[in-house]
Structure 1
Amino acid sequence: MRKMSMTNQVMLATVLGIAAGFIFQEKVEFLKIVGDLFLRLIQMSVVVLIMGAVIEAVGGLEAKELGKIGLKVFLWFMGSTVLAAVIGVVFGLILKPGVGIAFKGFESTTIQSSTESLHDIIVGFIPKNIIEAMAQANMIQVIMFSLLFGLALSLIKNEGKNGQILDFVSSFNNVILKMVSLIMKLAPIGVFCLIAPVIGNVGTGVLVTLMKFLLTLGLSAILFLIVWLIITALYCKVSLKKLIQNMWRMSLVAFTTTSSAVTLPIQIEDCKEKLGISDRISKLVIPLGMTLNSNGLSLFLSLSIITFAQFYNIQMGIGQLVQAVLLSTLACLGTVVVPGGGLVALATVMPMLNLPTESIALLAGIDWFSGMFRTLLNVDADTTVALIIAADEKELDYDIFNS
């Protein structure tokens, strides 16, 4: 008898988790501890995995190559993020998810917007202490340190000095990836125990109330993915069907866990073994994308802004719509890569458009479900940018991609 693939096991666990939540409701709350343990097992290695991946990728590059590739990556990241924000605004204006929502009790919320100034945000990109940054899982600071460390390794290598540290980092990365692959064997159990308590606690009431918003978010996310995957397939001269097939596993893990950090090890593995992207490109682009390229969050923010404007019957002119797109794009830089980060980003953007942050509690009840779409877009867009850069740099193995 043929063994069920990991992808199918996770799909089955998702369906069973949803069913268990609806049937047993609050009685499945005890499963949450197992789901949380699974998330922690994955997350405990994310910081060192990102550090190692970026250091190895940058350390293996020439300084000139890093500048050229970095500019390409940044432009593709910004282009995809702006496109996602625009699609969110357009779908919000067409489908009007905020019209007719009636929800009591949204006045109270504990979600607070960021009080940091622009100066604090910019200075916060550089860590005072890398150990402290690692302990706090501050991904931007970790990546900034890793970029400089990798650059120093690259220069030492070019000067003909001892390059054994780079070999050690590469070996260390392989050990971390093997450890995570062992943990991922528990993914079906973990996914089941994550989803069942969420469904059981939320129930159907808030889902029915905000179903229009979720449907709008889902449709706009699907449209963005279709458009972006077509652009990627045409640019890289690959089969669209094969591209979707090769990205299916990482997409499913992203959708069910709602965490880019948890999906990262699977993403890096599939980039190499299914998409044919070189390690040099994937280990540079994918970790950078986690903090600099959040298409799902951008779409979610712009759609939420339009939804709340409709909820309060506020008319937005073309200038405000453009501002909504820009704010949704900029708010994605250095965003939180674990579940729940979307609400914090939304609380930061709302005051800038004179919308009350208290109403964010309206979406708090369905944050897990909207997080599914956000994470799916984030992970898939990062992967496609890596594919595009690999094709540009002649580091895309078409034999592996088509196998």
Structure 2
Amino acid sequence: MILNKVKNSSLSMRIVVGSIIGLIIGFVLGENAESLKFLGDIFLRSVKMCVPLLIFCSIVEATASLPLKELKTVGLKTLGVFFVSTSLAAVLSIIAVKIIPINLTLTAPGSDAYKGTVAGGNIQETIVNFIPDNAVGALAEGVIVQIIVFAALFGISVNIMKDSFESVNALYELILGLRKVIMKIVSIVMVYAPIGISAMLAGVIGTSGVDALKSLVQVIVIVSILDIIFFVLYTLYVAIRYRLSIVTLLKNSLNIMVIAVTTTSSAITLPVSLEDVPKKMGVKERISDFVLPLGNALNTNGSPISNIVSAVACASVFDIQFTLQNLILLGVFSVVASFGNPGVPGGGIVSMAIVFQMIGIPVEGVAIFAGLDYFYSLTRAPLNVMGNVYSSIIVGIKTGEFDRNVFESSTN
């Protein structure tokens, strides 16, 4: 009877049940639970294989379907919302680390401790890396921000030409069809989500020793609290400023938040957001199809928070003292690095390495925090995802593309 109830329950409930089972398996099997990790990897790879094409098709559809005049308006408003929200997250973090002392009694790793590849260490190079030198290569490698840049230019070009050239219009229709097929593939893959997530969590709990995290608990706690505070403040702002029910806002977001928490990935949550935001939040699809994929790369509100706190904590390990001016510069670098931050589990490590190199902290220090990325993502991923949802609501209201009746009548 219990199994039948689980089978007939919503995807969110099945994922929650799978997560609980995964936690239990992890504690019972310990390190042996790592043998189940491949089941989680199958799920992650199955979804991630769809993300580059899904983002490309969504951005092309959004930019090609909007009248050019509207595209300028919507695009500027969207980028403005992204920049303001991400900057405010950085400001909150700077205030917190200035007030709360963070001192770690750890030994810095050797120069060969971190084997990851980091991006350029200056703002100019980071901005240059937004532009793909090979569009096909960007799609193949899943470089999200480069895909978005190419897709936006592609969509604008299609927008300009589709009414004059039948072949271009046919290409546009082909992309619309491809997007529907990709969304169907994602929906099929999500049936497997409870099993994949259960195995993934079992492996994490089984292999992450509690003793190894004791000296870093304060960092995890600070990051998590700041993520929650920013989420609460953002929710209150959207609800009060635009006269929306907080209960309805959170209720209609439940499915999105559960997927974000359990997968710790904004990219994997993107298909769910693309489906739920128009149906439950009342944002017209042409706005949500533009804002949500764009926000997946450019609007990671949680990234500056984890990067700033980690940088200050790591600085204490290397005995580096931050002045207020250093902290402000750290905030600027964190905002820049968050534009294009990969929305997948582990992507935050690369973003952190960029910030460390920009501000002058030895990149090898990232190795200290690499094991914490999953725990950061438990609150960072839902904050990133909901930041995009709220951005779509704000842009939808500002552009007259928000249906309040749909928002108020939606049920999970």
**Could you state the TM-score of these two structures normalised by the residue count of structure 2?**
0.91
| 1:79 aligned partner | 84
State the alpha-carbon separation in 2 of the partners of residues 359 and 117 from structure 1: 18
Aligned partner (choices 210, 215, 240) of residue 216 of structure 2: 210
Please give the root-mean-square deviation of Cα atoms over the aligned residues, in Å.
Answer: 2.0
Q: Which amino acid aligns with 1:106?
A: P
Cα 1:24–1:77 change in 2 (3 A) is same
State the alpha-carbon separation in 2 of the partners of residues 117 and 314 from structure 1: 20
1:336 aligns with 2:339: no
Q: Which amino acid aligns with 1:307?
A: A
Cα 1:115–1:122 change in 2 (3 A) is closer
1:103 aligns with 2:106: yes
Q: Which amino acid aligns with 1:281?
A: I
Indicate conservation of the 8 Å contact 1:22/1:203, yes or no.
Answer: no
Structure 1 residue 192, shift from structure 2 partner: 0.5
* 3-state SS in 1 of match to 2:281: coil
State the alpha-carbon separation in 2 of the partners of residues 88 and 150 from structure 1: 36
Cα 1:219–1:90 change in 2 (3 A) is same
Aligned partner (choices 394, 397, 403) of residue 400 of structure 2: 394
1:17 aligns with 2:22: yes
Indicate conservation of the 8 Å contact 1:21/1:28, yes or no.
Answer: yes
| 1:59 aligned partner | 64
State the alpha-carbon separation in 2 of the partners of residues 354 and 169 from structure 1: 44
Structure 1 residue 394, shift from structure 2 partner: 1.5
1:319 aligns with 2:322: no
Map Cα deviations across residues 288-309 of structure 1 (whole Å, 9 max, x no partner).
Answer: 1111111111111111122223
Map Cα deviations across residues 70-105 of structure 1 (whole Å, 9 max, x no partner).
Answer: 111111101111111122222223333x32x33357
Structure 1 residue 240, shift from structure 2 partner: 1.2
* 3-state SS in 2 of match to 1:316: coil
State the alpha-carbon separation in 1 of the partners of residues 10 and 358 from structure 2: 47
State the alpha-carbon separation in 1 of the partners of residues 142 and 37 from structure 2: 23
Cα 1:251–1:352 change in 2 (3 A) is same
Q: Which moves more between the two structures, 327-336 or 155-164?
A: 155-164
| 2:391 aligned partner | 385
1:91 aligns with 2:63: no
Indicate conservation of the 8 Å contact 2:126/2:337, yes or no.
Answer: no
| 1:190 aligned partner | 196
State the alpha-carbon separation in 1 of the partners of residues 395 and 339 from structure 2: 20
**Paired positions, count:** 401
Structure 1 residue 37, shift from structure 2 partner: 0.4
Structure 1 residue 219, shift from structure 2 partner: 0.6
State the alpha-carbon separation in 1 of the partners of residues 201 and 231 from structure 2: 24
| 1:131 aligned partner | 136
Map Cα deviations across residues 266-322 of structure 1 (whole Å, 9 max, x no partner).
Answer: 111111221121110111111111111111111111111222234445442221121
Map Cα deviations across residues 155-187 of structure 1 (whole Å, 9 max, x no partner).
Answer: 234548563433332232222112211211111
Indicate conservation of the 8 Å contact 1:89/1:306, yes or no.
Answer: no
State the alpha-carbon separation in 1 of the partners of residues 200 and 31 from structure 2: 13
Map Cα deviations across residues 46-92 of structure 1 (whole Å, 9 max, x no partner).
Answer: 11111111111111111111111111111110111111112222222
| 1:140 aligned partner | 145
Indicate conservation of the 8 Å contact 1:18/1:196, yes or no.
Answer: yes
State the alpha-carbon separation in 2 of the partners of residues 147 and 374 from structure 1: 27
Indicate conservation of the 8 Å contact 2:302/2:380, yes or no.
Answer: yes
Indicate conservation of the 8 Å contact 1:28/1:200, yes or no.
Answer: yes
Aligned partner (choices 253, 261, 271) of residue 255 of structure 1: 261
What aligned pairs does 1:133-282 form with structure 2 within 5 A after superposition? Answer: 133-159=138-164, 163-282=169-288
What aligned pairs does 1:1-16 form with structure 2 within 5 A after superposition? Answer: 3-16=8-21
State the alpha-carbon separation in 1 of the partners of residues 214 and 133 from structure 2: 47
Indicate conservation of the 8 Å contact 1:86/1:302, yes or no.
Answer: no
Cα 1:333–1:219 change in 2 (3 A) is same
Structure 1 residue 209, shift from structure 2 partner: 2.4
| 1:372 aligned partner | 378
State the alpha-carbon separation in 1 of the partners of residues 374 and 284 from structure 2: 33
State the alpha-carbon separation in 2 of the partners of residues 318 and 17 from structure 1: 43
What aligned pairs does 1:29-68 form with structure 2 within 5 A after superposition? Answer: 29-68=34-73
Indicate conservation of the 8 Å contact 1:17/1:196, yes or no.
Answer: yes
State the alpha-carbon separation in 2 of the partners of residues 4 and 53 from structure 1: 29
State the alpha-carbon separation in 2 of the partners of residues 305 and 377 from structure 1: 20
Q: Which moves more between the two structures, 41-50 or 146-155?
A: 146-155
Aligned partner (choices 336, 359, 362) of residue 368 of structure 2: 362
Structure 1 residue 381, shift from structure 2 partner: 0.5
Q: Which moves more between the two structures, 309-318 or 271-280?
A: 309-318
Structure 1 residue 112, shift from structure 2 partner: 4.5
State the alpha-carbon separation in 1 of the partners of residues 361 and 153 from structure 2: 40
State the alpha-carbon separation in 2 of the partners of residues 120 and 314 from structure 1: 25
Q: Which moves more between the two structures, 341-350 or 281-290?
A: 341-350
State the alpha-carbon separation in 1 of the partners of residues 231 and 158 from structure 2: 37
State the alpha-carbon separation in 2 of the partners of residues 352 and 261 from structure 1: 26
Indicate conservation of the 8 Å contact 1:59/1:153, yes or no.
Answer: yes
State the alpha-carbon separation in 2 of the partners of residues 92 and 269 from structure 1: 38
Map Cα deviations across residues 351-374 of structure 1 (whole Å, 9 max, x no partner).
Answer: 333322222222122221112222
Q: Which amino acid aligns with 1:214?
A: I
State the alpha-carbon separation in 1 of the partners of residues 139 and 315 from structure 2: 39
Structure 1 residue 400, shift from structure 2 partner: 1.8
Q: Which moves more between the two structures, 40-49 or 114-123?
A: 114-123
Q: Which moves more between the two structures, 204-213 or 386-395?
A: 204-213
